Amino acid sequence: MKFTLHIWRQANRTAPGRMETHAIDGITGDMSFLEMIDLLNEKLLREGKEAIAFDHDCREGICGSCSMMIDGQAHGPERGAATCQLHMRSFADGADIIVEPWRVGAFPVIRDLSVDRGAFDRIIQSGGYVSVNTGGTPDGNALPVPKPHQERAMDAAECIGCGACAAACPNASAMLFVSAKVGHLGALPQGQAERSERAKNMVAAHDREGFGHCTFYGECEAACPKSISTEYITQLNSDYLASAAKAVVKG
């Protein structure tokens, strides 16, 4: 298989960027998209040119670092898959493929296809944890968790923080990410003490980072490689309103 790649190149966050075109062949359908870029980088290095910078780590759809727009879609055309899980058989032989970084103001470009997703880390730091004193490690069965609550928490915990939700959203909102992190802890007994404060603090951090407001387009769920449901956004809204009500009562 052979492809013509139109790839975004940018030296740093302040430098002007440009699209660069490269032809590559000898690609098999079983290669992942990242393996294809690896081959292109080897070709560029042999030619004495700079390799294309992109983020990757586990290459198993777990770490969430392989963030890139492919033909205008976050992580590419396959639903429920990260870029590292996207195989070249998903494209027609001879196709032109456009590859860009996340286009989100809160994720500034570091170089080429690599962006700074530190905004997500700061949102987590604002409330994505349980800080109450839980004592020593309890026995696994000492605190029963109903199975529906367990499954809801585990579904939310599948979020890998890749940023596809914000990249796909017309408003550049990351509310699906925030709601997954709030929903994960909010479904468990350990997370109840700080539940409403967690929602308030994490939404405030989301807004400070410059993400847009959620207007429920639903693009986030469609782009999410773990298919996180927008139902978590509904729950987040409920928790956020509860925190506002508590503030009024205290006032």
Of 33, 36, 26, the closest CA to residue 2 belongs to 26
Which tokens hold the place of 211?
Answer: 């993400």
Strands 96-100 and 3-9: parallel
- pLDDT per position as a tens digit, 202-219: 999 999 999 999 999 999
- pLDDT per position as a tens digit, 65-94: 999 999 999 999 999 999 999 999 999 999
Kindly give, in sequence order, each residue whose CB lies less than 8 Å from that of residue 70, ignoring residues fewer than 6 positions away.
33, 76, 77, 83, 86, 97, 98, 99
Kindly give, in sequence order, each residue whose CB lies less than 8 Å from that of residue 56, ignoring residues fewer than 6 positions away.
34, 65, 66, 84
Amino acid (1-letter code) at residue 27: I
3-class state of residue 21 by DSSP: strand
User: Tokens 């809160």 map to which residue?
Assistant: 106
DSSP state of 104: -
The mean per-residue pLDDT over the stretch 43-63 comes to 96
Which tokens hold the place of 2?
Answer: 């052979």
Whether the per-residue pLDDT at 136 is higher than 80: the answer is no
Residue 131's CB is within 10 A of a number of other CB atoms, namely 9
- pLDDT per position as a tens digit, 152-181: 999 999 999 999 999 999 999 999 999 999
Helix axis angle for 118-125 and 195-208, nearest 10°, is 150
Which tokens hold the place of 54?
Answer: 């992109």
Kindly give, in sequence order, each residue whose CB lies less than 8 Å from that of residue 89, ignoring residues fewer than 6 positions away.
29, 30
Strands 96-100 and 73-74: unpaired
Distance CA 237, CA 173 (A): 14
Residue 246: its pLDDT value, please? 76
Q: Which domains does the chain have, with CATH numbers?
A: 3-111 (3.10.20.30), 117-130+144-250 (1.10.1060.10)
